[in-house]
Structure 1
Amino acid sequence: MGAMEPYSQRLSHCTCCPRHCGVDRLAGEAGFCRLPSGILISHAGLHFGEEPPISGSRGSGTIFFAGCNLRCVFCQNYQISQEFERHPTWLMTVGDLAVLMLQLQDEGAHNINFVSPSHMVMQMADAIVEAKGKGLRIPVVYNSNGYDEIESLRLIRGLIDIYLPDLKYLDNDLAERFSAVGDYADIVPGVLREMLDQVGHLQLDGAGVATRGLLVRHLVLPGFLDNSRRCLAFLAELSPQTAVSIMSQYTPQYQACRHTGIDRTLTAEEYDEIVEYALELGLDNAFIQELASQGLLIPDFNRDKPFDTDAGSGEGGCSGADKAGKKPS
């Protein structure tokens, strides 16, 4: 048998995410993500701010891709997802990315954590294959916004150990309004089913660190609790054993203050209501976040250490936000 064709050859008519732009990224064309086939990295390093099973005691080996296939108006990573042209990035080859993965392993990372891989999935897959051939042993995490192409996920089956997707919405009107995607609620259920089929439920080692499985994130948006209820009800239907991270950290970022309803922080009452609903559904494998985390987990990618809270807050936030988290009258 001959050598397998590189995954990235499929970028000649790109359908790697549900946008199905069809552009020839190998020839330098770019679609919705605004990126041709080169691997553009915004940040890499050990990260200790993920869920405990992901960060563990030694940190998660995060690799942040530049760009995104969504346009979330509240994105806390907007510097690298939406405005990456204005911030430092590194153009890498597949070989460079494989070396980076091995370096993070040598630094003690519990896992390799690819952040925002949906539009870079083919290049990522080529790098994983190369890194595994050179001694990569730690789990690989696919940390996405949930707007993934199911056929791409099927293509990379066996390369991913842990899926860490968002479940942002099960309401297409909200998805269009806040993330410029009109079919998110149609796509994401099948994505989560495929991920669960590939890796099963979350498995932890003796130290409580994830080795395999699915962990779904849901960020509770202020004022839109019905959306959160729909998302959690779906996860309970998928399986009551589904591990879910119910995130309270929402604060208005980027362009959020232009949008009524999400121009304020989440209240404790709102968050507690959603957590209680999750428990009523039988979602006992839930990770709960302290409301005090609001504002503390906002990165600044202008710094060498974007998540260094000792350095103070970055350029995030937006003017006009109700920092007290009060409900609008």
Structure 2
Amino acid sequence: MLARSSTCLEIWHALRTSRPLTTRRTKSYLAPPYLLDDYIPRYQLLSPLQESKKRTEAYAHLRNCNLCPRLCSVNRYEKRGTCLIGADVVVNTVAPHFGEEPCLQGHNGSGSVFFSGCNLRCVFCQNHDIAHQKNGFHLSPEELGEWYLKLQEVGNVHNINLVTPEHVVPQVVLSILHAKTLGLRLPIVYNTSSFDSLASIELLDGLIDVYLPDFKVWDAATSRRLLKAEDYAKVAMESIKAMHAQVGDLCFTADGLAKKGVLLRHLVMPGHEDEGKHIVRWLAENVSKDLYVHIMEQYHPRAHVGKPRRTTSGRARDLVTDIVEPGGASADTATNKQVRYEEINRPVSLDEVDRVKTAAREAGLWRLLEVAEHGGFNI
């Protein structure tokens, strides 16, 4: 009652003084307009004609693969492109996963499908043994769709989470449409590095409920050195805007589970906090200030980071046993002790992470996932 009276007084005072009322932004993620009474996955709403068109487009892309920015133009029934994957998919792990955000994993886990292969070559890849290698088992798109049903019926998971799927989008489209005929009714999460083409995102429209993109780095020099893709930031900006145009800001049901929208991740890199600040400012100005953002502190040296510098191989090893510098000269003792990508060969500091979060709030982003926040699962 007291709160209502205070509100009335504020309105009356504002009218008398002709001053605009201050807009108060709710701090609850489980409040309108982000609260859903119920949710039907988007693929359930596709007509038979729309499904048929998507199947046709998926098969066409497999025969001339230009769905990722690498533009390999290969017939994947006959050969492989940069991603190393053909017309089938190679899956490393299919299981309920409890390493995602609380709003995705819930109590029962996110039904994660970890694909082998990738169209990036991140030197610090946290899933290097999966993404940079063909470790796993081959599945046709139809067999992949049947695994979704097993996750739903046996695993009782909250969603189907497609991890590193950028290079297998045609197969993903076919698998979702097949799983729909088998009785799939869970939201689909597209867990991506954001190195997606606009054609790929368009093909996925109507099939994906939650886009989970990662915006890694900002500078072209950094992406060329660490991701082996100089145009990464430009591609990521286009694809993230297209994802948001399809599904909007992240929305939840009353149990705290995310059902629809974009949940964006940024992994803060040691020594690259300025790039993180550029990224969050761009997101606030060009995507949405209501974007749900997870600024992550999990970085630690993996993959090629911290490994000894490359040595010679083959017949050259018989001639020179040390590290070889340009021109074929043998390296000195100090050089032999150096490691690769030394500038990121350390964990990220909490101060670096906090400064990126501060920049995000100053830019107007307010829906930041906090470490201690568990939504509807804080029990």
- The answer on 1:286 being equivalent to 2:368 is yes
| 2:195 corresponding residue in structure 1 | 147
Provide the rounded CA distance (Å) in 1 between the counterparts of 2:74 and 2:213: 25
Of all paired residues, the percent bearing the same amino acid is 38
Verify the 8 A CA contact 1:246 1:289 in the aligned structure 2.
no
Provide the rounded CA distance (Å) in 2 between the counterparts of 1:180 and 1:219: 17
| 2:267 corresponding residue in structure 1 | 219
Q: What secondary structure, in the 3-state scheme, does the structure 2 residue paired with 1:233 have? A: helix
Where do 1:66-85 residues align within 5 Å? 66-84=116-134
Provide the rounded CA distance (Å) in 1 between the counterparts of 2:57 and 2:291: 33
Verify the 8 A CA contact 1:144 1:166 in the aligned structure 2.
yes
- The answer on 1:269 being equivalent to 2:351 is yes
Amino acid across the alignment from 2:72:
C
Using the TM superposition, give the Cα deviation of residue 56 of structure 1 relative to its aligned residue in structure 2, in angstroms. 1.1
Where do 1:18-29 residues align within 5 Å? 18-27=69-78, 29=79
- The answer on 1:122 being equivalent to 2:204 is no
Using the TM superposition, give the Cα deviation of residue 34 of structure 1 relative to its aligned residue in structure 2, in angstroms. 1.2
Alignment partner of 2:144 out of 97, 109, 118 = 97
- Tell which structure's C-alpha radius of gyration is larger: 2
Give the unaligned 5+ runs of structure 2.
1-47, 307-339, 373-379
Amino acid across the alignment from 1:100:
W
Where do 1:13-52 residues align within 5 Å? 13-27=64-78, 29-52=79-102
Using the TM superposition, give the Cα deviation of residue 76 of structure 1 relative to its aligned residue in structure 2, in angstroms. 1.1
Cα RMSD for the two superposed structures: 1.4
| 1:177 corresponding residue in structure 2 | 225
Provide the rounded CA distance (Å) in 1 between the counterparts of 2:205 and 2:351: 41
Provide the rounded CA distance (Å) in 2 between the counterparts of 1:200 and 1:145: 18
Using the TM superposition, give the Cα deviation of residue 218 of structure 1 relative to its aligned residue in structure 2, in angstroms. 0.2
Using the TM superposition, give the Cα deviation of residue 170 of structure 1 relative to its aligned residue in structure 2, in angstroms. 1.8
Amino acid across the alignment from 1:288:
E
- The answer on 1:256 being equivalent to 2:338 is no
User: Could you report, residue by residue, the CA deviation over 1:202-256 in whole angstroms, capped at 9, with x for unpaired residues?
Assistant: 0011111101000011000011111100110111112110111100011001112
Amino acid across the alignment from 2:238:
G
Query: How many residues were matched structurally?
Result: 286
Verify the 8 A CA contact 1:8 1:122 in the aligned structure 2.
yes
Using the TM superposition, give the Cα deviation of residue 153 of structure 1 relative to its aligned residue in structure 2, in angstroms. 0.9
TM-score normalised by the chain length of structure 1: 0.84
Provide the rounded CA distance (Å) in 2 between the counterparts of 1:150 and 1:179: 20
| 1:186 corresponding residue in structure 2 | 234
Using the TM superposition, give the Cα deviation of residue 94 of structure 1 relative to its aligned residue in structure 2, in angstroms. 1.5
Using the TM superposition, give the Cα deviation of residue 8 of structure 1 relative to its aligned residue in structure 2, in angstroms. 3.0
Alignment partner of 2:292 out of 240, 243, 252 = 243
Provide the rounded CA distance (Å) in 1 between the counterparts of 2:282 and 2:59: 33
Using the TM superposition, give the Cα deviation of residue 6 of structure 1 relative to its aligned residue in structure 2, in angstroms. 6.0
| 1:59 corresponding residue in structure 2 | 109
TM-score normalised by the chain length of structure 2: 0.73
Verify the 8 A CA contact 1:46 1:104 in the aligned structure 2.
yes
Provide the rounded CA distance (Å) in 1 between the counterparts of 2:75 and 2:350: 47
Provide the rounded CA distance (Å) in 1 between the counterparts of 2:142 and 2:234: 36
